[in-house]
Amino acid sequence: MRANDFINNLIPPLKFTDRVKLALSWMEEIRTNILPVVEKGTFKGFITDEIIYEINNPDLSIAEVELLASSCVVQMDKHIYEVLRISSENQVSMVAILDKDLKYLGVVSEEDAITAFTDTISIQSPGGVLILSMFMTDYSLYDIARVVESENAKVLSSFISNDPLDDSKIKVTLKIDQQELRHIKATLERFGYKIIDHYEEEGGINSEQDRLGNLLRFLDI
């Protein structure tokens, strides 16, 4: 699940010497509102259609334009989750991928990253999501899964993140293969686990927006 495995080769980079009107033409052709700018193998930032419309000068060179999110980059060997995290932090729908020498390799779109990540962590499978809070020293996926399995359910996937409400704890997000979570919650609580949130899904995901919503709920970001 390395970031460079999901580079979108259909998205071309612009150069400083290119004109703004070329950027807009490419955006219309490939149906995007954002393109990367690369100069001599170095990623310089993104240009968007909004920037172009504000400039209102199609003959201006890219070098004369203030670009967006020059730090929106991920190294090639990072997990695809890092693409989603950086994209979310910068509020940009693409992330530039760099090699070990920090040279530009291409971009991964937020949409492609969501597709890859949801396919991997079983977000599309029917079931429910439980979010637990605990100290890192108390975390054992084996023990948690054993409790869940005692209720004839299985942990399809899990995700660990920092607990923003308590720096000393972590949040453990679990995707369970059952939609009814009441008995599983009660059993986990009986074993001393603190459940801070849950989501009960009614079926598979039917649209891209639903997939994004379920992914964000799973990651809790």
- 70-86 per-position pLDDT tens digit: 899 999 988 777 888 88
Please say if the pLDDT value at position 206 is more than 60.
no
DSSP 36-70: EEEETTEEEEEEEHHHHHHH--TTSBGGGS--B-T
Side-chain half-sphere CA neighbours of 117 within 13 A: 26
Distance between CA atoms of residues 59 and 61, nearest Å:
6
pTM of the model: 0.62
Give me 6's structure tokens.
Answer: 């999901």
Query: Which band of pLDDT confidence, cut at 50, 70 and 90, is reported for residue 160?
Result: confident
Side-chain half-sphere CA neighbours of 123 within 13 A: 26
pLDDT digits (tens, 9 = 90+) for 17-72: 999 999 999 999 999 999 999 999 999 999 999 999 998 898 999 999 999 998 99
- Contact present, 38 and 30 (Cβ < 8 Å): no
Task: Report residue 88 CA to chain centroid gap.
Answer: 7
Please say if the pLDDT value at position 139 is more than 70.
yes
Provide the pLDDT for residue 221.
Answer: 47
Residue 94: C-alpha distances to residues 84, 104, 116, 139 (Å): 9, 13, 14, 34
H-only helix segments in the chain: 20-30, 49-55, 80-90, 110-120, 141-149, 182-190, 208-219
